[in-house]
Structure 1
Amino acid sequence: MENKTARESVIYQIYPPSFMDSNNDGWGDLNGIATRIPYLHQLGIDTIWLGPVYDSPMIDNGYDIRDYYKIDPKYGTMEQFESLLEQLHHIDMKLIMDLVINHTSDEHPWFEQSRSAKDNPYRDYYIWRPAKSDGTEPNNWRSFQNESAWTYDEQTDEYYLHLFDRKQPDLNWEHPPLRQEIYKMIRWWLDKGIDGFRLDAINMISKHPDLPDASEDDPHPIGQKYYKNGPRIHEFLQELNRETFAHYPHILTIGEAPSLTMEQVLEYTLPDRKELNMVLAMDMMRLGKDPHDPWRSADWSVSQLKESVAKWYEHVFARGEYGVYLSTHDHPRMIPDVVGHHEHNMTAAKLIATFLHLIPGVPLVYQGEELGLPNTTYDRIEDYRDQGTVHYYEEAVANGQSAEKVLSGIHKRSRDGSRSPMLWDHQHHNFGFSPDEHVEPWIPFPEKRGLKGYSVSEQEEQRGSVLSYYRHLIAMRKQFPIMSHGSFTMLLKDHSEVFAFIREWQSQRWLILLNFADIEAEIDWTQEYRVFPTSMVKILGNYPHTAHPPHLEEEQYIEDLQYLRPYEVLIYRM
């Protein structure tokens, strides 16, 4: 396979349940992914991040692993996985697996042994504590489900810790035999030839050894300062690297590590520290979300975007690597809650694509993003599948909130907003998600919005579609190293709507202009003396070619650029 640097990659996340069903059970599977390899190849991405396909009870759609060594039958067989991997490698495409080693399913044999007796050899594979002297739980930490992070187990009269669902007990990384079991499993997968891992919640594996109570004023969820970036996190990651990753030099390791300072990012990613290749820059994906309440929205500004991009570039870009993304299986899609609405959705989708591929960092595209898919909403709570969503609804209604108000918040914030099935063929009832068009998927297609124009089949035939725009951007990234390696200089820092910057690499210099507003934006270049006097040639825009702005290859000057239309993108070679 071609050996590319991590920085030159374009990564595509597949959420397996919702990508493609091949056997008419309404659930995406490995053979379904294999049938769409030509589509992925034509898109131009070089690396697939595959969501977890391990054996699982599916309480959290595979992020609750029951057996690390087995493929869940809902996805297929190990032979089908190996065939998929071989087909991808044949066309020089890499596959990294999603790996969850902060917790397992409570149906994992380790946990079944652990809970059976206090003197069982597997007891210390998990984190057990007795009640406090007053009979209350070991501490006041809250899980990401906004309930106690402790569950009482009658069999041994103790509590076990779970930062996520109670059916996802946390592993005890303080216990050396547990770590060795994990390293053994990781080597087993790497020996199969996979190209690396995206490591879920990796900065949570080291907890404060005293498990102290947290202040009730802590941000959601309470207690996180005692389990994010814990006291032994770097010791654990360096041992993990030494025991596994270091023996496979061409793999890619990506850490999901929320709540990092820039100094901590470097600790995770500097090559000489031998921990991870990169972490995910998660702050941009949280635009429009209330940091203190996951079910509430918040105002956001273009200045927040500017600060985030500049911060990551200034502190990390020259020394470590990081991935940038705006949508994922864990967060609602950007459209229309953050940018775009109605007639501007497709234009805004191209703006998001340009931003993602032109700012410094490795772009990660979440399935459907290349079609401009909006966030999905459902009229009934019965149509939502995410356990956290359902739990929040039941609790909020029980506490006296109206069902309509609770659903309104869920519409914008539920993880299911990004999990509806891919739209392959608009001529089929189920959009070609299953071979039999009468098969209903595991989660419904959205009901509250029209789907016309969003399917792959329609966009394949539509000139100027979002899909064709993504293909063009990704092809440009392969052709022009400036997009992955170029320096970054911010312009118009105080402009409230326009994000403007210069990328520069060797003899090339590009100007990128992005209007994040749904209205026309005016630009005053008076203070930007550093870009005068320069003639430019337009190389990309997201509006059809008209007299304004000039056609491609027409020379113009920056002082002539006085207005940008709603969500307009302009890229110039200077």
Structure 2
Amino acid sequence: MKPKNILFVLPLLFSCLLFKPALAQVKKATIEKKWWKEAVVYQIYPRSFKDSNGDGVGDIKGIISKLDYIKSLGIDVVWLNPIYGSPNADNGYDISDYQAIMKEFGTMEDFDALLKGMHQRGLKLVMDLVVNHSSDEHKWFQESRKSRDNPYRDYYHWWPAEKGKPAFRPGAFEADGSGWRYDKTTDSYYLHYFNYKQPDLNWENPKVRQEIYTMMNWWFKKGIDGFRMDVIPFIAKDTTFPVITKEELDSKYEGRWDVYFASNPNLHNYLQEMNKELLSKYDIMSVAEGAGMLKSTALNFVDPERHELNMGYHFDGTNLGYVPGYFKKMNPNWSLVEFKKIYSDWDAVYDKKGWGTIYLGNHDQPRMTSRWGNDSPEFRDYSSKMLTTFLLSMKGTPYYYNGDEIGMTNAKFNKIEDYRDIETLAEYERLKNTGGDLKQFIEDQKTGGARDNGRTPFQWNDSKNGGFSTIEPWLKVNDNHVTLNAAAQEKDPNSVLNYFRKMVKLRKNNPVLIYGKYTLIDAKNPNIYAYTRELDGKKVLVMLNFRSKKAKLNTNINLKNAKLLIGNYTKSSNGLELKPYEAVVLAIK
């Protein structure tokens, strides 16, 4: 190189060195794209999806028969509720054999055919991992309860009766509220955070953890694409089981047992071990059901640098609006301002790192249209489409529950005999034992309460039993299936179903709706939820009216050159005043 060229290059080299930190900072802020961030997840509750053999219970072959329908939705991932061997105390969340299929659902050959059929259609399958507890009919527990020196004794949490009653721990599905059950065979109590037929596994025992990792690996080798991990924050326990006073619960854990359950420091050691030994070896999706997860602790699960899980979902949104002191009694005048704050605050949690989720309903929740929208004939379709717009235009992986794509609503059963859910039945029994108002309880379950509202069979057509089964199903079909069903909506280009398909397509075709920065607009507006999404010079405005009356957005955003991307009315509003339950997505400057 000639001397004069060297003189020319030296300032350039100095400039590069000078700006190297800034360049590195820009590189660090670059979005890390992943398939599971871009996916739309469709949850299938197999017991209620499609019955193929006329026994009144949905099954795997029923799902197979509807794979083309599932593919037509445009979704990417199916999250399948538990299909493992189970005596069904809690609809499959009590597992007696992790490497078998529940007889009601079919065989392992049926599962293999389902997985193959999904992969052939470009769909991924995520299984439900339930390893905080097993069934009391699992061989591990059957051995564990035989004697105090049984090799499987330490697979579960036992407390010898001679030490007195163990310190209180709540049992979610028990009429007496206790999470301990006395077992006379060995004169001991065993722990169960849920029903007594769901004893908690002892993750403090390394043998238990290795058994679980081996089982998970077996499923991965079959070709599944990930796990949704049921109450995974609860797996770690303080085995001294100290007394937790109300004062301690209030001061350290926001007065919530779920926060206490999710606070054991060993939890993240176990999740990191799981990641190192298993999850990191596959290109899969891992999502925590974030029971007890707070905004302050969420990144402990999903910060990529911690090597634990991909994402988690919180309960702050779905907990909103319940009346304190009552079992899932919904306040019809819940605050949209608070609703917006919850989702905005959670968006901020993942603004710099980690990844979140967005959902409004699932198998543990009432139907989203009945709870967050308006299920009257006048507004049902509009509000359902509006909620779909919200779910598919927010940041975070959207989880969409089967049946919501046609706007299914709460069943609103009038008598306890129609319910099947273990949680609802236990609470009814508790109220009966304590002289509670049983009539009011049934009324409360119609809107915000019973999980069975979200579990009624899928409404395929207007025939008897909604085309779900040839006989009376395990849970009654909603009476409105005669007019509200998939077959009718397939024929209607303006149906809730076809709007869902359009909204999925819009999200996929516009990365700004996936990775774009979220900014809340007009935060104090009690009627409209509005926000922008921005990415690479593109900006989108989403306006959602959550009310049954016209409402106006207060903003100085100029809509003069705005382009309509989608709207849930045949003729969308062209200004800032929205019709009842109107949803509008605009590309703006």
Q: TM-score, normalised to structure 1's length?
A: 0.92
Aligned to 2:436: 401
Shift of 1:106: 0.1
Matching residue within 494, 506, 518 for 2:536? 506
Shift of 1:533: 7.3
Aligned to 2:54: 24
Aligned to 1:443: 475
SS at match of 2:464: coil
Distance 1:82 1:43 in 2: 22
Shift of 1:216: 4.1
Distance 2:325 2:384 in 1: 28
Distance 2:491 2:258 in 1: 48
Aligned to 2:5: none
Q: Is the 8 A contact 2:228 2:286 kept in 1?
A: yes
Distance 1:318 1:125 in 2: 39
Aligned to 2:357: 323
Aligned to 1:238: 272
Q: Tell me the number of residue pairs that the alignment of Structure 1 and Structure 2 aligns.
A: 547
Shift of 1:282: 2.6
Question: CA 1:295 to 1:313, structure 2 compared with 1: closer, same or farther past 3 Å?
Answer: closer
Q: Is the 8 A contact 1:208 1:227 kept in 2?
A: no
- Deviation track 1:66-120 (CA, whole Å, cap 9, x = no partner) reads 0001011111110110111011111111000001000000000000000000000
SS at match of 2:350: helix
Matched, 1:564 2:564: no
Question: CA 1:409 to 1:213, structure 2 compared with 1: closer, same or farther past 3 Å?
Answer: farther
Shift of 1:291: 5.8
Amino acid at match of 1:325: Y
Aligned to 2:564: 538
SS at match of 1:407: helix
Aligned to 1:368: 403
- Deviation track 1:356-385 (CA, whole Å, cap 9, x = no partner) reads 011111111000010111112212211100
Aligned to 2:455: 419
Matched, 1:524 2:554: yes
- Deviation track 1:215-243 (CA, whole Å, cap 9, x = no partner) reads 34758997444422312010000001111
Question: CA 1:445 to 1:214, structure 2 compared with 1: closer, same or farther past 3 Å?
Answer: same
Aligned to 1:208: 238
Aligned to 2:172: 144
Amino acid at match of 1:26: G
Matched, 1:301 2:335: yes
User: Which sits farther off after the overlay, 142-151 or 283-292?
Assistant: 283-292
Amino acid at match of 1:417: N
Amino acid at match of 1:32: G
Shift of 1:277: 0.6
Q: TM-score, normalised to structure 2's length?
A: 0.90
Shift of 1:573: 1.0
Question: CA 1:93 to 1:533, structure 2 compared with 1: closer, same or farther past 3 Å?
Answer: closer
Amino acid at match of 1:130: P
Question: CA 1:101 to 1:254, structure 2 compared with 1: closer, same or farther past 3 Å?
Answer: same
Amino acid at match of 1:214: I
SS at match of 2:465: coil
5+ residue gaps, structure 1: 551-560
Shift of 1:571: 1.1
User: Which sits farther off after the overlay, 255-264 or 363-372?
Assistant: 255-264
Distance 1:414 1:359 in 2: 27
Aligned to 1:311: 345
Q: CA-atom RMSD, angstroms?
A: 1.8
- Deviation track 1:43-79 (CA, whole Å, cap 9, x = no partner) reads 0001000010000000111000000010111111101
SS at match of 1:570: strand
Aligned to 1:287: 320
Distance 2:375 2:224 in 1: 40
Amino acid at match of 1:106: D
Question: CA 1:240 to 1:290, structure 2 compared with 1: closer, same or farther past 3 Å?
Answer: farther
Q: Is the 8 A contact 1:140 1:222 kept in 2?
A: no
Q: Is the 8 A contact 1:421 1:445 kept in 2?
A: yes
Aligned to 1:358: 393
Distance 1:161 1:49 in 2: 29
- Deviation track 1:412-441 (CA, whole Å, cap 9, x = no partner) reads 301111000000011x2111112x3xx111
Distance 2:440 2:216 in 1: 45
Question: CA 1:371 to 1:287, structure 2 compared with 1: closer, same or farther past 3 Å?
Answer: farther
Aligned to 1:259: 292
Q: Is the 8 A contact 1:381 1:407 kept in 2?
A: yes
**Which entry has the higher C-alpha Rg, 1 or 2?**
2
The structure richer in helix per residue is 2
Distance 1:452 1:492 in 2: 41
SS at match of 2:370: coil
Distance 2:246 2:326 in 1: 14
Distance 1:4 1:242 in 2: 19
Matching residue within 65, 73, 81 for 2:111? 81
5+ residue gaps, structure 2: 1-32
Amino acid at match of 1:105: S
Shift of 1:355: 0.5
Aligned to 2:384: 349
Distance 1:62 1:444 in 2: 19
